[in-house]
Amino acid sequence: MSTPNPLLPQGTLADNTARSRTRVVFFAIVAAHVLFIGALLLHTGCRRTPEDHATGEQPTASAIPERFAPTSPPPLPPPPPGPELAATQQVAQTSPSPAEVTPTAAPPPPPPPPPPAQPAPAFKEHKIAKGETFAALGAKYGVGWKAIAEANPGVDPTRLKPGMVIKIPEPKPKEPTANVAAQPSAGEPYTTYKVQSGDTLTKIARRFGTTPKALRSLNQLKTDRIKVGETLKVPAKPTTPAAPTETKAPGG
């Protein structure tokens, strides 16, 4: 047991003792906190998760909480480009890419021009009067009866009715019109004859030295029926009709 210093006053000794105790208590509290925090950190780092217990894997360094992972400073933004670099980049962006040159085939030759269209033949219309035939109309307009028949394919020459309208083609060469019983013009091996009252196809054929069949073929007739006033085509060389023989009545 130490003896108090007689040179020091008693109050000063009591104060020093109180200060020493306060320091000891303070450091004891600090040491207790440090030990508690250290034990808590060790317990948190070494504790295994339920998944680790199930799989039996050991915790790795990646399991350390991110708050304890070292952090790196954020990257600094790149410095702004200088005027020369900016101009170079702008030229590189605006410069057009070289166009690809693809070989083109030679154009095909133009098609030949179409042949000129033939002009349509000119026609005139004629209204059939009573007793008219294609032969009479051909003689009237200076065209052949075949040309009139070809211009009217749907018309039967033997069934012409008054008031019917037919087409008359324009004559190629101007030919004089032939009168009834006139000699045939050049190129027409027939003449015309107007049927009189009492005529039959057989009588007319006998008069002109031909046959009824030839007259039917020449006039495109289907039967021997003819009409008074109808104009028929007959051979160009008529024969002199034979004089009718007189028969005496009995008892005359």
The residue extents of the domains of the chain are 123-235
- Note the pLDDT of residue 39: 85
Q: 95 Cβ partners below 8 Å, 6+ apart?
A: none
Mean pLDDT in order along the chain per 10 residues (252 residues): 56 68 87 87 66 53 50 64 57 54 70 69 84 86 87 87 89 51 50 88 88 87 87 70 46 42
- What whole-number distance in Å separates Cα of residue 209 and Cα of residue 242? 10
- Note the pLDDT of residue 179: 42
Q: Is 139 exposed, middle or buried (0-12, 13-18, 19+ CB in 10 A)?
A: buried
- Note the pLDDT of residue 67: 52
Q: What angle do CA 45, 50, 55 make, to 5 degrees?
A: 100
Task: Decide if 189 contacts 217 (C-beta within 8 A).
Answer: no
Instruction: Report which secondary-structure segment, H or E, holds 33.
Output: helix 10-46
- Beta strands in the chain, from DSSP E residues, in sequence order: 123-127, 165-169, 190-194, 231-235
- Note the pLDDT of residue 58: 54
**Cα 35–chain centre separation:** 92
User: What class, spelled out in words, does domain 123-235 have in CATH?
Assistant: alpha beta
- Note the pLDDT of residue 88: 57
Q: Considering the entire predicted model, what is its pTM?
A: 0.25
Q: Which two three-digit tokens encode residue 235?
A: 């051979």
Rg (C-alpha) for the chain, rounded Å, is 70
- Note the pLDDT of residue 51: 56
Task: Decide if 192 contacts 136 (C-beta within 8 A).
Answer: yes
- Note the pLDDT of residue 185: 45
Task: Decide if 59 contacts 47 (C-beta within 8 A).
Answer: no
